[in-house]
A and B are shown apart, each in its own frame.
Chain A
């Protein structure tokens, strides 16, 4: 027993000789965990958004791209607002305002990104919020927001966001594609609130309108024409786009984006794992002389293996796993997958290094 403690203590002492390598391992693994965590999160958001877009596509949606013309006097014809409110109430349109600043109240929502969604079919734009088809005014906090509750005075309502959304909650926009709602404050407003919004919010709501043309009560051609004409008085020319047409192109973009994220991540992962394995072998090689000497002077392979296991656990496994554990503790699911990958690989390297060390000691003598 005394010998066991002695070997463990000496294994710990060996670790103190390798601070540079240990710090290098921590930095490498922290970097790879952070990078893959972020990339995986982005790719996951895009994948969820893609699935959402397929649902939206089934409703034959029309959205708009805008051209702003500052030479036109902004008379702000309210017909567009009226038409949009009506369509939202009928369930044949969805609109949203995605902003990070409220001009009249810069501290609005504690300066977090805000997403306001309106309409009976909000589930086609946002994913993961409770009762998506209800138009009852309410607000939610993104999964990663630290606040317990935030008061939100908006469009005549005094809402309080206290419920956190699930971490997979995301938002689909035909303009920007997928986006995580982990750091957003999400506000659901009834169609009637549109008229009480400020000018900026109204402009964005008009531009971000999606008409659902497969709905039985979808917008008539006359109303659509009036809507476009009215929007012109808000300083923008809206050009209708069919999502069903543009979606395959967006799909290709997502695939390209995914590849552009995944390939460098994989390359980084392979590079870091190669470096990690080399560092592991270097650590072992630097200690082999001492291990051999100890074997000459009476250590058994059993006692040496205790020393080697202690040493490698503290110099390889702990510094490799610690950064991902800390990141996962801070941001949970986002870094859980890279953490698991790193843990698995680290354990493999640990086993390989332990076995090869003991085999090398035996071979170097025989």
Chain B
């Protein structure tokens, strides 16, 4: 439980034309602010995550590249949303904005119906409590043990967990990804598929409501890719939880598992039909 108020309701900000300034104006002292770790109290049809008119540009020496141009997106509970598009098309930027790793130039990100405070410490708390991240390169620390990798999110909780308590939680998370008993193995000794499962266990250990996966199967063979996407699908479709998954991928093997598929090209996000893409 976070002691400070992190969110404010969307109704209070949606009418403001300049979203960036509204983020700064809306501080944690708002009377309607509520703690963020109460997603189960939300209505069932309340989106887990909403991107509203997100625009983000990269400024280079002589030019400005628009990575995202007035992008809108909703992630509903139990939903798997897939973002497809060419390399450099802005998929990772979109995920980074979703996950509060990057602040958009314009627009707002709404989590469980509320606009979070824009301070860096609150964004860090959000990254820790609401989101989990999976990346193509596994993003694991090879020379550490499996459980030490999985325990990282626990160290940044409001009440951090270290040592034996953390290891116990890591064991539970590792069991969920079929890596029980591998706690003390060095990550360097694992295969690519196992490393990706360590990354998933690291996401699950802190019980996030949203997982952002950037090309999670790109470096995996068919069997491992199937295993990973099945794990993620089961997690997202767990009826007892309000979970959602956003995937950025090139991998057509993933498409049958997705509920909605978007194409991101030249900064514009367009919804596609799954059959159209598979064809």
- The answer to the question of B136 belonging to the interface, with a C-beta cut-off of 8 Å to chain A, is no
Query: Which residues of chain A from 260 to 294 have a CB within 8 Å of any chain B CB?
Result: 289-290, 292-294
The answer to whether B141 and A293 have CB atoms under 8 Å apart is yes
In the assembled complex, the Cα of A289 lies from the Cα of B199 at a distance in Å of 13
A297 touches B160 (CB 8 A): no
Among B74-122, those with CB < 8 Å from A are: 96, 99, 101-102, 120-121
- Are A300 and B152 in contact (CB-based, < 8 A)? no
Of A299, A365, A366, the contact of B124 (CB 8 Å cutoff) = A299
State in angstroms the CA–CA spacing of A292 and B133 once bound together.
11
Q: Enumerate chain B residues within 8 angstroms of A2, measured Cβ to Cβ.
A: 160
State A17–B144 Cα separation when bound (angstroms). Answer: 10
- Asked if B53 lies at the interface with its beta carbon under 8 angstroms from chain A, I say no
For residue A154, CB closer than 8 A to chain B, the reply is no
Q: Digitize A277-319: 1 where CB-to-B-CB distance is under 8 Å, 0 elsewhere.
A: 0000000000001101111111111110000000000000000
Instruction: Determine if B139 is an interface residue (Cβ-Cβ < 8 Å).
Output: yes
What is the bound-complex CA distance between A135 and B202, given in angstroms? 85
A153 to chain B, nearest CB (A): 67
The chain B residue with its CB closest to the CB of A9 is B162
Do A6 and B162 form a contact, CB below 8 Å, given A297-B133, A300-B120?
Answer: yes
* A3 close to B (CB within 8 Å): yes
Q: Is the CB of B120 within 8 A of A296?
A: no
Q: Does B257 contact A (CB under 8 A)?
A: no
B124 near A6 with CB under 8 A, answer no
Expressed in whole angstroms, the minimum distance between the Cβ of A299 and any Cβ of chain B is: 6
Chain A hits for B133, CB < 8 A: 296-297
CB-based contact A297/B152 at 8 Å: yes
Question: Which of chain A's residues have a CB closer than 8 A to the CB of B143?
Answer: 17
Which A residue's beta carbon lies closest to that of B93? Answer: A366
CB distance from B92 to the nearest CB of A (A): 10
Contacts of A301 in B (CB 8 A): 120
Tell me the dominant secondary structure on chain A's binding face: helix
**B156 and A294 contacting across the interface, CB-CB below 8 Å:** yes
B99 with A6: CB separation less than 8 A: no
Nearest CB on A from B32, distance (A):
25
Band of interface residues on A: 20 to 34
Q: Is the CB of B141 within 8 A of A290?
A: yes
> Which A residues are CB-close (under 8 A) to B99?
296
Q: Assuming A6-B162, A290-B141, A292-B139, is B153 touching A297 (CB within 8 A)?
A: yes
Q: A296-B101, A298-B127, A298-B153 are in contact. Are A6 and B139 (CB under 8 A)?
A: no
A3 to B125, CA, bound (A): 13
- Find the A residue at minimum CB distance from B133: A296
In the bound complex, do residue A296 and residue B125 qualify as a contact, i.e. CB atoms below 8 Å apart? no
Q: Are A6 and B160 in contact (CB under 8 A)?
A: yes
Question: Of the candidates A3, A290, A292, A366, which one forms a contact with B160 in the assembled complex, judged by CB atoms under 8 Å apart?
Answer: A3
Q: How far is the CA of A294 from the CA of B133 in the complex (A)?
A: 11
Closest CB-CB distance, A10 to chain B, in whole Å?
A: 8
- The reply to whether the CB of B155 lies closer than 8 angstroms to some CB of chain A is yes
Q: Which of B96, B102, B202 contacts A297 (CB 8 A)?
A: B202
Residues of A within 8 A of B128 (CB): 297-298
A147 smallest CB distance to B (angstroms): 52
- Cβ-defined partner of B125 (8 Å) among A295, A298, A365: A298
A302–B124 Cα gap in the complex (Å)? 11
Residues A300 and B124 in contact, CB atoms below 8 Å apart: yes
Query: What are 17 contact pairs spanning A and B, CB under 8 A?
Result: A6-B162, A17-B143, A290-B141, A290-B144, A293-B152, A296-B139, A297-B127, A297-B153, A298-B124, A298-B129, A298-B156, A298-B157, A300-B124, A303-B156, A365-B101, A366-B96, A366-B101
Listed in ascending order, the chain A residues whose CB lies under 8 Å from chain B are 2-3, 6, 17, 289-290, 292-303, 365-366
